[in-house]
Amino acid sequence: MPQYKAPVRDISFVLRELFNFGEIRALPGYSDMGDDLIDTVLQEGARICENELFPLNQSGDAEGCQWNNGEVTTPKGFKEAYKNFAEGGWVSLACDPEYGGQGLPESMEYMMEEMVCAANVSFSLYPGLTRGAYTSIHSHGTEELKRKFLPKMVEGTWTGTMNLTESHCGTDLGLLRTKAVPQDDGSYKISGSKIFISSGEHDLAENIVHLVLAKTPDAPEGVKGISLFVVSKFIIQEDGSLGERNGVHCASIEQKMGIKASSTCSMNFDNAKGWLVGELNEGLNHMFTMMNNERLGVGIQGLGIGELAYQNALAYARDRLQGRSLSGVKAPDKPADPLMVHPDIRRMLLIMNAYNEGCRMLSGWVAHEIDVAHKIEDREERQRADDFVQIMTPVVKAFFTDCAFENTNHAVQVHGGFGYIKEYGVEQYVRDCRITQIYEGTNGIQALDLVGRKMGAYMGRYMRTFFHPVQEFIEDHQDDEELAEFMGPLAKAFGRLQQASVTVAQKGMANPEEAGAAATDFLSLFGHTALAYLWTKSVILSRKKLGGSEDVFYQGKIETARFYMQKLLPRTSGLFASIMAGSKTLMALDDDAFGLFDFAGFSEAMSKAS
């Protein structure tokens, strides 16, 4: 049977040892974040994830959401679990106390989010989308809108959504057709249809708050004419109570490959009453406040699912007897040795663990800098922290989810034939994980964002927030013989990343397709190098801690870091070679040479089917 145990010890290592939580505690508003409070939050968070959310993961996948005449019913147990989750204050951990939030650091929120995603990623989408919608309203809404919507969203009695995609436009939002017509009372009538709307309709909360991208009648063409509106499922009365149903309805839900307990809806807006969030024609910028939050959240989803897959693969490998060790019998009292003794099984398990723990360290670094960006009073330091978050957002989203998909597939492979059937649960993790590489901007789009926008922004200012500390770290430790086996590979990978950055920037200026061709490999090179840096830092820290009661934990860090450097970081050599090869082989092949195919007939058949 599937199992999950929240990795509280490793989370604590990242939160309090690898990154100095004292720096967070010194920020305004966080002075009371003592170790006892951190322990309480982590332990209680682990309890609700392990005992209340995870038991619903497999059953929720089997039952899925049900749509009936515009109403959506979530799987058995979800409503009760969400009620307990909201009443426990887990929706509002890092929300503003002015609107009922607990005001905890983002660092704590991110660690809790990983546990929720691991325990039940479908469930995580309901509070996760709410948090994103809260962030946009909190950042760009008027005080009146904040007072009207945020307290109930923070409380968890109202949830939130993000409505961008339409059937004819996904990434290219300049093509959207949803209209917003201004009314005499300052509101707008919103009309149009949106698809792939997570949590668009469900039975967990009394009201749903939709953030909707639309265009006013006189808006400029393209993305410059997009505005952001908030549309409530029910009309909100002057006293804050809910009135009649607004003109927004769920036309259907998608039958999906994974995350089946999350309602993915087609939404129709028929003269729905909405209110402008922020300024007219600035909707895309305002929505990106939520989008960037969600992209980081999707990365954490990948990390959570990857951890869940690893734990179940490890448990199976320890328990399953199969064959004898190549170096001699290891379990003479048993008819066969456990799978754990076989090198290829250990290879897959170590890949999973090295990526999971490495990504957890990187998520901790990003969360730490988010806290600094939000709270520190020094303007330059605030800008530096925000720049770091900007450059790392596409890396977290794409690299984490790519690693997670590899990890979930390894989990199936470790299980062999039992991994391919539902009983052991790991096939669900592959299906659930696959969407993380697609939604909130596909991983290819994240790579293009990294090389096309972030890398050259402000003359490389974003990039320097990563390059400078890594360069200083290498210079400070390059003569340490005890670290040579770690510093050497890190320095080589970092050198490749520096050279690739220059090459992609130069070639991309002359021919944008060069940057496009290199983008995905470049992002992976960036992610692998970042993890190499963090694994090396963890070795330095762990060596200082040896000689105590937790030697197994710290020695495990050192050995996993050694595996990462010798077995995973060499992937950067191939990535670098691919980047330097340029775009010629991608773009040279004539379209017709891709294969003989009746495209006209195919298009006609698809049109008839739709």
Dump pLDDT digits (tens) for 517-575.
999 999 999 999 999 999 999 999 999 999 999 999 999 999 999 999 999 999 999 99
Phi, psi of 358 (to 5 degrees): -65, -45
Cβ atoms of 293 and 131 within 8 Å: the answer is yes
Q: Give residue 173's pLDDT.
A: 72
Beta carbons within 8 Å of 510's beta carbon, 6+ residues apart: none
The answer to whether residue 440 is catalytic is yes
Identify the CA nearest to 60 among candidates 82, 45, 44: 82
Handedness of CA 400, 401, 402, 407 (dihedral sign): positive
Tell me: the pLDDT tens digits for 85-116?
Answer: 999 999 999 999 999 999 999 999 999 999 99
Long-range pairs for 316-320: beta carbons < 8 A, 24 or more residues apart: 316/414, 316/415, 316/418, 316/424, 317/345, 317/349, 317/414
Residue 134, CB half-sphere, CA atoms under 13 Å: how many? 27
* pLDDT tens digit sequence for 37-79: 999 999 999 999 999 999 999 999 999 999 999 999 999 999 9
Domain membership of residue 504 (yes or no) is yes
- Say what the pLDDT of residue 187 is: 97
With CA atoms as reference, report the closest residue to 337 among 348, 327, 352: 327
Contact 576, 561 (CB under 8 A): no
Domain total of the chain: 1
465-515 per-position pLDDT tens digit = 999 999 999 999 999 999 999 999 999 999 999 999 999 999 999 999 999
Indicate which residue of 52, 106, 155, 440 is catalytic.
440
Q: Considering the domain boundaries, does residue 307 fall inside one?
A: no
The residue written with tokens 């970092």 in the block is 494
Q: To which residue do tokens 């806290």 refer? A: 371
Confidence class of residue 7 from pLDDT cuts 50, 70 and 90? very high
Q: Which residues pair with 212 in a beta bridge?
A: 163, 229
Q: What separation in angstroms does the CA of 464 have from each of 37, 492, 541?
A: 35, 18, 25
Mean pLDDT of 209-234: 95
Task: Please give the Cα distance from 151 to 524 (Å, whole number).
Answer: 40
E strand or H helix at 281: none
In a domain, 265, yes or no: no
Beta pairing class for 66-68 and 71-73 = antiparallel
Binned at pLDDT 50, 70 and 90, residue 172 comes out as confident
Give me the count of residues in the chain: 610
568 domain residue, yes or no: yes
DSSP-derived secondary structure letter, 205 = S
In a domain, 454, yes or no: yes
CA–CA dist 585, 542 (Å, integer):
45
Look at residue 13 and tell me if it is in a domain: no
Is residue 61, in this structure, part of any structural domain at all? no
327: pLDDT strictly greater than 90: yes
Which range (284-298, 299-313, 414-428) has the least confidence? 284-298
- Which residue(s) pair with 169 in the sheet? 166
Residue 578, domain extent = 442-586
* Average pLDDT score, the chain: 96
Does residue 520 fall inside a structural domain? yes
Cα–Cα distance for residue pair 429/159, rounded to 1 Å: 25
Q: List C-alpha distances in Å: 437 to 171, 311, 425.
A: 14, 21, 20
User: How many alpha carbons lie under 13 Å from residue 267 in its C-beta half-sphere?
Assistant: 35
CA distance 303 to 343: 25
* CB neighbourhood size of 517 (10 A): 24
